[in-house]
Structure 1
Amino acid sequence: MSSAEGSLDEGRRLVGAAAVAALVLLPAVLGGPGALPVAVPAALAGFVLCLRCPWRRVGGIPAAPVVGVCLVSLGASFGFRGEQGFALFWAVAEVPLLLLLLRRVTRWAPERAVLVLAPLLALAVVLLPLRFLFAEPAVKGAAVAFACVVSLFPAGVAVAVGLYFRTVESRGVRAMTVALDRQRLQVAADLHDFVAHELTGIVVEAQSAQWTGDLGADETRELLARVEAAGVRALESMDRTVQSLRADAPPTQAYGLADLSRLVEQYAAPGPDARVELRMEPGLAGTLPRLVDDAAYRVVVEALTNVRRHAGGVSRVAVTVVRAVGPGGGPAVEVVVANNGVPVRAMAPARPGGGTGLAGLALRVEALGGELDWGPGQGGWRVRALLPG
């Protein structure tokens, strides 16, 4: 909405609020000046209630007009000395307006404003029967006190309704925030585990070509073919990640132990120096729960990616997946990726924000009831995951 349209809409609301106030005041003007002390509070409450625009604006609750309504209403309750009929006539209009205003304040106002405005409005509703104590003819004090006590009920209902809708919206906002956080974490994990893996392969190919020097025509074609294949796989992973953001998208494709053979072949593709051995217990693929199967695959992807990025002098990488016994004695699957190289940070260009893959993967594994550790082992570097299976 443009500023001109917003100003026009706000002007219309002001005109409507003024019309409501004038409509409430009209009987007092026709009935004589004695009715104005009780008619003005009702008209002012109707005017402020109709200013709907600021109520949905964060931090834009018009606190000063609401306080003005309360003070004017309380002043009339303690200071009215007119006819009892006037007090009764405009009380019928003012009480519902104050209750609606109380519900709206409780529903939309910021928390600090609610703590001030809601008690003031409730007090104005509860003490409004005092006008009959000083009216002509006066009502007995016991009856006025009873009316004040009874007024607590509608005031409490107005507060309860406002707080109910406020709580429902707050829960919805929290649920949406949690869902968005989970979605962001899933997207970040997919980008790191799959897209970054393929891009790391492309970087390694480029570095290898620079170190090798001049390549023949056949070697160049093979290099470009591998780079193209890695780029296509990275784009496919990006497409899957983007599609998963759609509301009507099917579940994101999950990888598992059955895909390890293809993963190892892709990793070993650059040449004979990148020798990778896969040893997986027969009959294990396809038997694990979906989330465990996916986590096991991600462990291997992350470990192989780190070998490319951080390890030097690697001549052998061994990937082992076997059944094992879990910490509690239950069935488990052990995934181990070991290499005979030495961790060297200079193997890949420094990237801001990098180096958190294993830590994030450890949280995923622990959430499934497993454990992940890494460090020196088997004459080089080892990553080991123990997953429930």
Structure 2
Amino acid sequence: MNLIGAVVQLCALVVAFRPRVPPAYSAVGGGAVSLAITAYHPLTGTRGDGTFWLLIEVPALLVLTMLAARRAPLAALVPGLAVSTILLRMVWPGPPSLILAGCAGWSLGAVGVATAGLYLRSLDGNRRRAVAQAVRDQRLALARDLHDFVAHDVSGMLVQAQAARLAPELPPRIEDALRRIEEGGQRALTC
């Protein structure tokens, strides 16, 4: 049974690193299989067949716990619980204090990697916020520059229109056009 758990965990770990598969799916699937195998031993009254396969299964579950905590924190509960209870396979018909102490000790590893995953999640959030702020600042700077550029050009057009209106003997249509240009430029500068 432990061989099956180790193979499933390795497969879940490989799938978790696939680009289009959310790591939470692999973590929950691998953790659920491990929990089912762990529950099988006490329910049938059997012991696990060795610790070798646990040396493969537990690190895979710990990595899945960290990946799930980074992307979907609630999904980290399943592989974390699987790591915490995996010792039941070896010590099941034993003293309750040994079982409780063993599960508590193994849960420290799961809590540690879940904490590391949550820390990485916070770093990801900080990075996203910093990038969004940088983009916002850059857009505001471009908007200010564009505003200054347009205001400068409109001011130049306004001065030329005002200067042209001072010329003697302008035809009425040209004077009317210059007046409208001047009014439009003043409206643009007041905005």
Indicate the TM-score class for this superposition, using the shorter chain for normalisation.
0.7 to 0.9
Whether 1:130 and 2:91 are equivalent positions in the alignment is: no
- Rounded to whole Å, the distance in 2 between the matches of 1:38 and 1:82 is 15
- Rounded to whole Å, the distance in 2 between the matches of 1:211 and 1:105 is 75
Whether 1:114 and 2:79 are equivalent positions in the alignment is: no
Q: For residue 141 of structure 2, what is the aligned residue in structure 1?
A: 186
Q: For residue 200 of structure 1, what is the aligned residue in structure 2?
A: 154
Q: For residue 168 of structure 1, what is the aligned residue in structure 2?
A: 123
Aligned letter for 1:189?
R
DSSP-derived class of the 2:29 partner:
helix
Does the CA contact (< 8 Å) of 1:201 and 1:308 recur in 2? no
Whether 1:47 and 2:11 are equivalent positions in the alignment is: yes
Does the CA contact (< 8 Å) of 1:133 and 1:144 recur in 2? yes
Does the CA contact (< 8 Å) of 2:12 and 2:29 recur in 1? no
Q: For residue 95 of structure 2, what is the aligned residue in structure 1?
A: 140
Q: For residue 180 of structure 2, what is the aligned residue in structure 1?
A: none
Q: For residue 33 of structure 2, what is the aligned residue in structure 1?
A: 72
**Percent pairwise identity:** 28
- Rounded to whole Å, the distance in 1 between the matches of 2:63 and 2:25 is 17
User: Per-residue displacement from partner, 1:106-147 (whole Å, max 9, x unpaired)?
Assistant: 12x2xxx322x111111111111122244xxx4333212111
Does the CA contact (< 8 Å) of 1:87 and 1:131 recur in 2? no
- Point out where structure 2 has 5 or more consecutive residues left out of the alignment: 172-182
Q: Quick check: which has more Rg, 1 or 2?
A: 1
Alignment of 1:333-372 (within 5 A): 345=187, 355=191
Distance of aligned partners of 1:62 and 1:211 in 2 relative to their CA distance in 1, 3 Å threshold: farther
User: Aligned-residue CA RMSD in angstroms?
Assistant: 3.0
Higher relative contact order (CA 8 A, sep 6+): 2
How many corresponding residue pairs?
A: 174
- Rounded to whole Å, the distance in 1 between the matches of 2:77 and 2:32 is 12
DSSP-derived class of the 2:22 partner:
coil
- Rounded to whole Å, the distance in 2 between the matches of 1:93 and 1:125 is 12
Distance of aligned partners of 1:62 and 1:96 in 2 relative to their CA distance in 1, 3 Å threshold: closer
Greater per-residue helix proportion? 2
Whether 1:61 and 2:22 are equivalent positions in the alignment is: yes
TM-score scaled by structure 2? 0.75
Q: For residue 97 of structure 1, what is the aligned residue in structure 2?
A: 60
- Point out where structure 1 has 5 or more consecutive residues left out of the alignment: 1-36, 215-306, 311-344, 356-389
